[in-house]
Amino acid sequence: MSKIGKLAIKIPEGVSIEIEGKTLKVTGPKGSLTRNIPKEFEVLNQGAEILIVAKGSGEKMNALHGTTRALTANMVKGVSEGWSKKLELVGTGYRAELSGDTLTLAIGFSHPVKFVAPYGIAFKVEKTDITIEGTDKELVGEVAAKIRAVRPPEPYKGKGIKYKDEFIRRKAGKAAKAVA
């Protein structure tokens, strides 16, 4: 049995769980999320908490059990609290503007780069910080990764788009190399 998979998921107040066949629907104050549960598992609703029960055993089953439980826990947290990722623009003249649900980035290219927020995602811009918020952890991370991939931080001056808590390893330039 998986160590993570056997843990119960506590359901906060205001969150409801609906199980229809192999479809799990979690609804809360921030929205609702739906996921198909693999056929090897059963979801048991026990009032204030839910359990993911495996119908078999084995190494692959344990891994899938823990993954299914973690995805379900992320859904519950997403509809109750929400998920967010922070990005930071590093570079002279790099800026971001928000108009409606479209994020426009001026990051050193000859043209501005535009991102339209997918359904369930909201952008917030404060000076050089971009915050991506939503209920689906997977979608929030994917949108943040796509924005970062437009201009990833480079190792010499650190210019680009980076995660707020990311550390950029710096390299010495040619001048430092020639002196040594």
Q: DSSP string spanning 145-158?
A: HHHHHHSPPPTTT-
pLDDT mean values, one per 10 residues, the chain (180 residues): 85 92 94 93 90 88 91 96 96 94 95 95 95 96 97 94 93 72
Q: Using an 8 Å Cβ cutoff, are 124 and 133 in contact? A: yes
Q: Tell me if 143 sits within 8 A of 118, measured CB to CB.
A: yes
Instruction: Give the predicted TM-score (pTM) of the model.
Output: 0.88
Kindly report, as residue ranges, where domains of CATH 3.90.930.12 are found in the chain.
9-80, 83-163
- The CATH class of the 83-163 domain is alpha beta
Which pLDDT score, from 0 to 100, does residue 176 have? Answer: 60
- CATH-assigned architecture of domain 9-80: Alpha-Beta Complex (3.90)
Question: Burial code of 36-46, b = ≥16 C-beta within 10 A, e = fewer?
Answer: ebeeebebeee
- Count of CB atoms within 10 A of residue 54's CB? 21
pLDDT at 113: 96
